[in-house]
Structure 1
């Protein structure tokens, strides 16, 4: 009689059919008997399904995209997809930089690094052993080839996203039209700046995730980037009403309730909605539409370097640092680990000028 937890036999059936799973079942059967081996296989299927369910959608998209790059490489190099040897991974890294894109151009080193890491994950998920040493060798090759590109005067990639700043916030607010979409744009930018949003953050918010309190807003941000599944970012009222995120959010929600179908004001409806040129709500915003909106809004405002989906996040860290806010407080507000390298990099945009060894020498 089985005493195992309830399993779902319909979950990931293909996993039980691959060679890796078959070899596991054979070993389990030799140790414990066939009935126990099959229950263990069901548990593996469930584990695969849980891992898939808790992985953020954008990460799954990256894994899928990177695997397509790997299969393209394997076809060109006439190498098997189900091998993760040192030579294959190093050759993959070199191929990506030297012309791996479908257009024939080389990838930016950062993109190549992302694809390499995702492919290693994909290989291991498929039961292909990839040693840490072999992965490190491929990473070392990628870094070395990047240095060669830099020495040759070739710089790839878009570089760091432009940081949003307070002057930009004023420009954005003043350029927003007096419409529902304009009020949505103000709320999207001002709240996103004050809790250091990524593009997926406002796309994942529901109306009930933003709560108005006496001292401001509490935004419950769903995140898969840290060990916490939700962080409650507090956004106080700002001194200048013109760029106050609390007032912008309130105005947007009042207008949404007045001009759109009541269902879009429900706590379970998306916090930020798409709006067509006729003022009709088209549904909840998704990460790509948030990124496009931020770029469009900043260009409309005449911001010199158009913002991207990461500009609000960088802007909170750099602006707060410039105003002397403690690094721990910045980390907590933006959901970074307190010694996050990415956050420190954003803050270095402002650091290094006041306490500078070359300052005041002449």
Structure 2
């Protein structure tokens, strides 16, 4: 017999059923304590979910509701047919412009829409979701067979000559010094756009051999890696000198408060020279594109160009020096890690 129980706050029907089962097993007081623990678990999950993930869920749910409006399907149904119809629509006409999404974007929208449905109490079968994924993969293959390739593809990688061109094109202003430091340091620790955006002044420390950058890594499970950046042989593109000059100018021109360890390492600066706060991942990406455009780099760089660039230039240099093919697996087998200074990946590249 089900125990009647009143909870102090409204809960979803499936949570209420769970609490009633706990009450049968352990009594009402224990069931209420377990319910409070579930609420805490929900709060912790919400707190540790990255903002970018939350933003993706919101955007994808909006895409799902737009699909439902167009097809006149109910929003709160995640049936096999609805999910397969969703991915088909995404690939054929899902964008607001009427064009289809790239398969990778469609896959993201499908996964996030399923999360949104489940958050709203809709039961979505794993088998039904898997069938929609299979349909998406099959339709993506058809697109490739038809010679249609969607998406931007891999970003162009930065290179040493591009760094030199960019450094020379940076104006003698605070923004110019910030741009130079952003690109040169980012290349030397293979940064993603979110890496410099998340840095605080205290995360970048001067060392006798260069800089140590405490970078938050991982998309789902986070840790901190201490990336080491050495002084470059060529002062013109030395990341350590560039960062030190930028920070000294920032404090000199805008005040000692910017020396505080809690302030952003890389600040946003508008067209009038006003500081707008810390840079976000999108503003880093836009800045790198703008910086490379200004320098006349043949193919504009993106937020991922610095990461691709160090990996490519470093691999090529090692392969050529050692006589390996540039994609050699045996070369990778020889690579061992030392202290990060003497075996620094960027050593000798700049």
Q: Same fold (TM over 0.5)?
A: yes
Q: What are the within-5 Å matches in structure 2 for residues 299-314 of structure 1?
A: 299-314=293-308
Matched with 1:355 is none
TM-score normalized by the length of structure 2? 0.84
In the aligned structure 1, how far is the partner of 2:100 from the partner of 2:278?
Answer: 36
Matched with 1:130 is 124
Contact 1:203 1:290 in 2 (8 A): yes
Distance change in 2, residues 1:330/1:238 (3 Å) = farther
Match of 1:194 among 177, 188, 192: 188
When structure 1 is superposed on structure 2, of 60-69 and 28-37 the one drifting more is 28-37
Matched with 1:348 is none
Matched with 1:241 is 235
Q: Which runs of 5+ in 2 are unaligned?
A: 1-6, 320-330, 339-350
Q: Is 2:223 aligned against 1:229?
A: yes
Q: Is 2:35 aligned against 1:56?
A: no
Q: Is 2:70 aligned against 1:76?
A: yes
C-alpha deviations, 1:180-217, integer Å up to 9, x for none?
Answer: 11000011001111111111111110000001101111
Match of 1:91 among 61, 82, 85: 85
Distance change in 2, residues 1:31/1:82 (3 Å) = farther
The alpha carbon displacement at 1:241 in A equals: 1.1
Q: Is 2:110 aligned against 1:101?
A: no
Match of 1:217 among 208, 211, 217: 211
Matched with 1:22 is 16
Matched with 1:158 is 152
SS in 2 for 1:324: helix
Distance change in 2, residues 1:308/1:329 (3 Å) = farther
The alpha carbon displacement at 1:332 in A equals: 8.5
The alpha carbon displacement at 1:327 in A equals: 5.0
TM-score normalized by the length of structure 1? 0.82
Matched with 2:276 is 282
When structure 1 is superposed on structure 2, of 95-104 and 276-285 the one drifting more is 276-285
When structure 1 is superposed on structure 2, of 180-189 and 150-159 the one drifting more is 150-159
In the aligned structure 1, how far is the partner of 2:84 from the partner of 2:16?
Answer: 30
Distance change in 2, residues 1:329/1:245 (3 Å) = farther
Matched with 1:117 is 111
Matched with 1:6 is none
Matched with 1:344 is none
C-alpha deviations, 1:288-309, integer Å up to 9, x for none?
Answer: 1111101100100111111111
Cα RMSD between the aligned structures? Answer: 2.5
The alpha carbon displacement at 1:226 in A equals: 6.0
In the aligned structure 2, how far is the partner of 1:284 from the partner of 1:112?
Answer: 32
SS in 2 for 1:230: strand
The alpha carbon displacement at 1:124 in A equals: 3.6
